[in-house]
Amino acid sequence: MRKGIVVTAHVGIEELAAQAESLGFSSFWVYDTPMLHGDPFIALGLCAKATSRIKLGVGVTSPALRSAPAAANHFASLNALAPGRVICGIGTGNTARRTLGMLPTKMAELESFTAALQDLCSGRPVEYREGDRVREIEFLHVGPYVNTTDPIEFVVGAFGLKASAIAGRRGAGLLSFGLLDPGAWSAFTEERENAARAAGRPAGADSYVMTSMHILADGEERHGDASRDAMGHIALSLLTFAADNPSFAGNLSDEEQDAMRRLLTRRGTTATSDDRHKVLYRNYLGRIAPEDRDLVLPSLVDKLGLVGTPGDLTARIAEMEKAGIDELVIQPVVDPASEMAAFAELAV
């Protein structure tokens, strides 16, 4: 299985990208989360100048964040800096919208936005609508401005079969966050391939999963502080999503729901407060505070992160690969340089 790295956009990110390339990673990603982290396109522009081979991905942008012409301009400009190395991840904007106190976009808009970006970034015209006004648009100047010649890889953010079908119909790949269940991935892969064939698209496209990893030392406790620190940000992201989305909270165990309620109390808010987004998402996807380690339950460690001995991890990743995952993308948060080096050495 291929390996990649994802980080939050911040100052100095190009140094991590250069290290990731030197270690042989296939891709280097940043999140697109306004009001939380830095701008992904500025960050990856720096990375493009500091690297020459590694793919650069945005995971994920959304039609609720940018208009199609603005997003296409960002990606095609990045493609001019890193020709043929750009991955465009597109989703409903679950986190990016909820940090603004808003809801994610609808699936139909996700599909039309994906189609528009694919066409514009390939130099084809599209219909652009604002209210009742519709006009055909396309890039008017290319060459030194934007690159519409080298292909951009498109992937759709998926947590269910509807998004998988959209990926298939658009000939795009799949990207998911913290979803490691091989059974779910087998279903995603089948749905995407069936939809692709029905739409006359090639059935083959790459699948990516983002998570975190902690390789246990001999005799180290599986659910100890080191494990919780390495993947606690993913566990808290799930609890945060549940706290902000009551319909999802019912999927949690009793113990996990209790952890969610404790998270709300510590953040000084409630699941119904109109301004909960201003406190729930603080330090989102950053290294957790030591006082929050108790919220990272063993069940969350086991479901959401890759924690184990090298042998355990190799076997688990092999099962994920059989289910259709092509690339494992890890977010290092404790000591990124050493975590990337350890991941690079893991035989998968």
Three-state SS across 141-186?
CCCCCCCCCCCCEEEEECCCHHHHHHHHHCCCEEEEECCCCHHHHH
Q: With beta carbons less than 8 A apart as the criterion, state whether 229 and 285 touch.
A: no
pLDDT, residue 123, reads 97
Would you state the structure tokens that stand for residue 109, as one six-digit string?
A: 């808009």
Over the chain (348 residues), the average pLDDT of each successive run of 10 is 97 96 98 95 98 97 95 98 98 93 95 98 97 97 94 96 98 97 96 97 94 96 97 97 92 97 97 95 95 97 96 96 97 97 93
Spell out the alpha helix ranges (H) of the chain.
13-22, 40-50, 68-81, 94-98, 107-121, 161-169, 182-198, 225-244, 246-249, 254-267, 277-280, 298-304, 310-322, 336-345
Distance in angstroms between the alpha carbons of the first and the last residue of the chain: 6
Beta bridge partners of 135: 128
Cβ neighbours of residue 218 under 8 Å, at least 6 residues apart?
Answer: none
pLDDT, residue 226, reads 97
Phi, psi values for residue 192, rounded to 5°: -65, -45
Beta bridge partners of 189: none
Is the whole model's pTM more than 0.85, yes or no? yes
Would you state the structure tokens that stand for residue 36, as one six-digit string?
A: 């939380």
Separation CA 44–CA 41 (nearest Å): 5
Q: With beta carbons less than 8 A apart as the criterion, state whether 321 and 76 touch.
A: no
pLDDT, residue 336, reads 96
Could you tell me how many residues make up the chain?
Answer: 348
pLDDT, residue 143, reads 86
Give the residue extent of every domain in the chain. 2-216+309-345, 217-304
- Helices 182-198 and 161-169, axial angle in degrees (round to 10): 40
Q: Are strands 133-137 and 126-130 parallel, antiparallel or unpaired?
A: antiparallel
Three-state secondary structure call for residue 86? strand
Q: With beta carbons less than 8 A apart as the criterion, state whether 308 and 227 touch.
A: no
Question: What architecture is domain 2-216+309-345?
Answer: Alpha-Beta Barrel (3.20)
